[in-house]
Chains A and B, each alone.
Chain A
């Protein structure tokens, strides 16, 4: 090249040899670059080894992994629980990343063993029920001769049991080896420090909870005139020493909020009705707004509504008080399906959504993550995806859509979703039971610079 430059400076006619050299370099350099680049097949491994979406390895013989997920921080690590058909798996996270993509613990829970998995599972803190470690309430055991009980999988591969109210809900007490899984919904709260576990048997409409440090169930009085889907969704929100139990009745588009001190049965309640179909199809408590107490996100077929500061709602001590209309709540924040600009996928889209609160940017406020398993992704029908929304301001907004690059039709990603609290911005864990997959999303567009680690560079 020096020779060429010299030649040009002196305005000499390039000699044939120089021309040959120049032409050769012009041809060879791109070819060499192409070769150099394409030769590094290890770059794919380098990229995939630190992929922002980590697919967790399902235990062998597991099907439909990710029907429900939950996560909780324990003393030494963060644990994530995933429900599959008649089995479960627990994955362990270190401070910033997975310890391993393989499950640290896996267990069976099938009717043959008088065990039935719950429809939704809940993480249980150490101070709940006197358990010595972090646990996950995941199912129901009803062995012959024993009283039925709620099962908890705890750290150290320990399984514990919590008794049902007496008398036990009829649908649960009647379970036999041939019975299908009951509609048992479990929830805990507040989100980051759950100290209250709520269980709802939607078939019988029974709701009860376990106070902090007690394994004795406390029954929640059933409101009058509840419908057949009462208890289909349930959540726990917190505000100082007060806890709010939210019980949804999607068929009636109703949500019942009950205030309790966490020990005694609720003394105040509030019924909220909505004109939207399937209102309360999903409920999730979290700090979505700047309110002191937790907020409540409720999904219907057409929209998602966040009720800021559940403790500020107009509760009544009259169990027969009429329901108030959602529209009358001035503080509510609504994000319609149309506003999400999902390309005409609204209209029943949210009927099967999952909601989760997760602080993805470490600002102390949660983002509302919507799991939409029916959504098409990358041309794959029902591959599903996660929609990250923000309700921090009065006008909610769509932040980001997330789906793994390996999405396939029928994965139904977003059937379940939860935030995994790590020492860094939270990681989203979403189940795709259609593909027997469990995906951990480590990176979002909300992630502060330098906070994402190698996976988000």
Chain B
């Protein structure tokens, strides 16, 4: 990378890149932006890998499919090479011809024309000899054989676009391109305007961007391998001297404002972000939701590349989003009523809470109250969901208690009656008149047994009632805590994933 006097950025894109521009019609060497570079690359590299593996037929199919989606001439040429290698010379000739049709200014057009003639002769010889290779039979490419190499697609862009450019290829020797020298080993293969793309052979290349408007000259070198997609971007510097500033932060997508402390304009970019900036003093404001804004001052010198790392800290306040399974559940925080959960799908939002531990209580009629400690995060909302469980039904316990009471009363009555009868019998016994068939004996026994049964029943029911009063078959109300969310996240009851419950 060269920085002076012109700062030039070059990226050979291997990973996916979204250019974000409208696409022009692709040709062999045409001006226009390129979209779907990843898709182009996938077709190109897949076809190339099949080609190298000797699967020419499949390689040609992939290249053809790539051309269908992305009509770059390199796909046509490569498909022709793969067809030629697979012995389908007629098809190969058609693809080469079509290559020349769609890209008549291709730098290698004379070579392709010669190649067509050559293949036609072979085809003619084979026809005369009647020894044409059976279609579909692959031929293994010989390393270094010119006919065995495929073309690559090179996409060249400038910032700003529209700059005139030239592509030079090293045709002999090992010398590097020197813009101040004659460079006899280098030959111009393409002259056009950016953005441009070209189907070119393997080799060493150099791009020269001529002066354009008030932008300075730019240049860069690159090497083209067989069957690849290269993207070259040249940032042109204006007449004034600039530096390059890159801002990073611990918070992804934090907004960066350059010399805009009041954030009146659109952000300069979002971290990680880098761009040319005028030399001199600058104020960098980094803003992220839920974080304290940070302002930094920097001094950018000519041609200097400076990276600014900004550490953002969370706000000291946070919030709660309280939802409940009961409409109208009352919410109190640290003993103070703060609202009600009026809608199931929209949580009650409590803002500007001091981060840290708080006592949350959620109550609803007929439900077990929920009381839990929540830890309000810094600069975020903590979504919580109060699952209020219905109060245990005590109807059975009351019924048992009442029946137990009745039985107890009955037992007391029976017991007293039994005792009364026994007293009478005792009295008669003392007087000597108690008869052996006295019917009060049976009544007394019945009363006595009735008292026993009643007392036992009362005891059993009382115990059962007590148990049912104390026993709660239902689980307690629970508070479900979800992952903290940013302030700008939509306020709705979160999904059940990433939850943790506390009783």
Interface residues of A (CB under 8 A from B): 34-35, 37-41, 43-45, 47-48, 51-55, 101, 400, 402-407, 439, 441-445, 447, 456
- Within 8 Å by CB of B432, from A34, A40, A406, A441, lies A441
**19 A-B pairs with C-beta separation under 8 A:** A34-B412, A35-B452, A37-B419, A38-B419, A38-B452, A47-B425, A47-B426, A48-B434, A53-B435, A54-B435, A54-B436, A101-B436, A400-B432, A402-B432, A404-B434, A404-B438, A405-B434, A444-B432, A447-B432
Using A38-B416, A38-B419, A38-B451 as known contacts, list a sample of 14 further A-B pairs with CB atoms less than 8 Å apart, ordered by residue number in A. Answer: A34-B415, A34-B416, A37-B419, A38-B418, A38-B452, A40-B448, A41-B449, A43-B448, A47-B425, A47-B434, A48-B441, A400-B432, A402-B433, A406-B438
Interface residues of B (CB under 8 A from A): 411-412, 414-416, 418-419, 421-422, 425-426, 428-429, 432-441, 444-445, 447-449, 451-452, 455
A101 surroundings in chain B (CB, below 8 A): 436
Q: Are A39 and B422 in contact (CB under 8 A)?
A: no
Q: Are A53 and B434 in contact (CB under 8 A)?
A: yes
Complex formed: what's the CA distance from A441 to B431 in Å?
A: 11
Q: Are A53 and B433 in contact (CB under 8 A)?
A: yes
- Within 8 Å by CB of A405, from B411, B412, B438, B455, lies B438
- Nearest residue, chain A, Cβ from B439: A406
B438 surroundings in chain A (CB, below 8 A): 48, 51, 404-406
Complex formed: what's the CA distance from A295 to B133 in Å?
A: 166
Complex formed: what's the CA distance from A35 to B441 in Å?
A: 18
Within the complex, the shortest CB–CB distance from B491 to chain A, in Å, comes to 50
Within the complex, the shortest CB–CB distance from A27 to chain B, in Å, comes to 11
Closest 10 CB pairs of A and B: A38-B415, A443-B432, A41-B448, A404-B435, A406-B435, A38-B451, A405-B428, A52-B432, A53-B435, A51-B436
Q: Are B445 and A41 in contact (CB under 8 A)?
A: yes
Within the complex, the shortest CB–CB distance from B313 to chain A, in Å, comes to 55
Within the complex, the shortest CB–CB distance from B150 to chain A, in Å, comes to 96
The DSSP consensus for interface residues of chain A is mixed
B434 surroundings in chain A (CB, below 8 A): 47-48, 51-53, 404-405
Within the complex, the shortest CB–CB distance from A166 to chain B, in Å, comes to 48
The DSSP consensus for interface residues of chain B is helix
Within the complex, the shortest CB–CB distance from A428 to chain B, in Å, comes to 10
Within the complex, the shortest CB–CB distance from B43 to chain A, in Å, comes to 87
Q: Are A37 and B415 in contact (CB under 8 A)?
A: yes
Contact A44:B437 (CB < 8 A) given known A51-B429, A456-B432: no
Complex formed: what's the CA distance from A391 to B312 in Å?
A: 127
Q: Are B436 and A48 in contact (CB under 8 A)?
A: yes
Within the complex, the shortest CB–CB distance from B446 to chain A, in Å, comes to 8
B411 surroundings in chain A (CB, below 8 A): 35, 38
Complex formed: what's the CA distance from A400 to B432 in Å?
A: 10
B428 surroundings in chain A (CB, below 8 A): 405
Within the complex, the shortest CB–CB distance from B451 to chain A, in Å, comes to 4
- Within 8 Å by CB of A439, from B415, B421, B435, lies B435
Within the complex, the shortest CB–CB distance from A419 to chain B, in Å, comes to 15
Complex formed: what's the CA distance from A110 to B445 in Å?
A: 42
A39 surroundings in chain B (CB, below 8 A): 448, 451-452, 455
- Within 8 Å by CB of B436, from A38, A53, A456, lies A53
- Within 8 Å by CB of A47, from B416, B429, B432, B447, lies B429
- Nearest residue, chain B, Cβ from A50: B429
- Nearest residue, chain B, Cβ from A35: B455
Complex formed: what's the CA distance from A268 to B434 in Å?
A: 47
Q: Are A52 and B448 in contact (CB under 8 A)?
A: no
Within the complex, the shortest CB–CB distance from B136 to chain A, in Å, comes to 101
A38 surroundings in chain B (CB, below 8 A): 411, 414-416, 418-419, 447-448, 451-452, 455
Complex formed: what's the CA distance from A41 to B441 in Å?
A: 9
Complex formed: what's the CA distance from A403 to B428 in Å?
A: 10
Complex formed: what's the CA distance from A445 to B448 in Å?
A: 31
Q: Are A51 and B435 in contact (CB under 8 A)?
A: yes
Q: Are B433 and A44 in contact (CB under 8 A)?
A: no
B451 surroundings in chain A (CB, below 8 A): 35, 38-39
Q: Are B452 and A41 in contact (CB under 8 A)?
A: yes
A445 surroundings in chain B (CB, below 8 A): 432
Complex formed: what's the CA distance from A62 to B268 in Å?
A: 127
Complex formed: what's the CA distance from A210 to B425 in Å?
A: 47
Contact A44:B435 (CB < 8 A) given known A51-B429, A405-B425: no
